[in-house]
Amino acid sequence: MSRASLDKDPHEVAAMFDGVSAGYDRANSVMTFGFDRRWRTTTSRVLDARRGERVLDLAAGTGVSTAEYARNGAWCLAADFSLGMLRSGKHRRVPMVAADALHLPFADESFDAATITFGIRNFVDTKAALEEIARVVKPGGRLVICEVSTPTFPPIRFLYRRFILWIMTLLGRFASSNPEAYTYLAESMLAWHDQRSLAQIIANAGWTKVEWLNLTFGVVAIHRAQKPTRRPDHHP
Ligand SMILES: C[S@@+](CC[C@H](N)C(=O)[O-])C[C@H]1O[C@@H](n2cnc3c(N)ncnc32)[C@H](O)[C@@H]1O
pLDDT of residue 1: 41
Ligand 1 midpoint to CA 163 (Å) = 23
Between CA 128 and CA 80 the distance in angstroms is 16
Tell me if 44 is assigned to some domain: yes
pLDDT of 117 higher than 50: yes
CATH of the domain at 210: 3.40.50.150
- Annotated binding residues, written as ranges, equal 62, 80, 100-101
pTM of this structure: 0.92
The number of folded domains in the chain is 1
Q: What is the pLDDT of residues 96-106, one digit of tens each?
A: 999 999 999 99
C-alpha–C-alpha distance, residues 99 and 90, integer Å: 16
Pick the residue whose CA is nearest to atom 10 on ligand 1.
119
List, in sequence order, every residue forming a beta bridge with 225; answer none if it has no partner.
Answer: 143
Beta-bridge mates of residue 116 = 58, 145
* CA-to-CA separations, 19 to 7, 125, 152, 185, in angstroms, rounded: 17, 22, 33, 13
Domain, as residue range, for 90: 3-151+192-226
Residue-wise pLDDT for 189-217, tens only, equals 889 999 999 999 999 999 999 999 999 99
For residue 118, how many other CB atoms are within 10 A of its CB?
Answer: 23
The residue whose CB lies within 8 Å of the most ligand 1 atoms, and thus the one to mutate among 30, 43, 81, is 81
What does the alpha-carbon distance between residue 165 and residue 192 come to, in Å, rounded to a whole number?
14
17 belongs to a structural domain: yes
Reported as a single tens digit per residue, the pLDDT across 35-56 is: 999 999 999 999 999 999 999 9
Q: How far is the CA of 29 from the centre of ligand 1 (A)?
A: 16
Secondary structure (3-state) at 196: helix
CA 50 / ligand 1 centre spacing (Å): 23
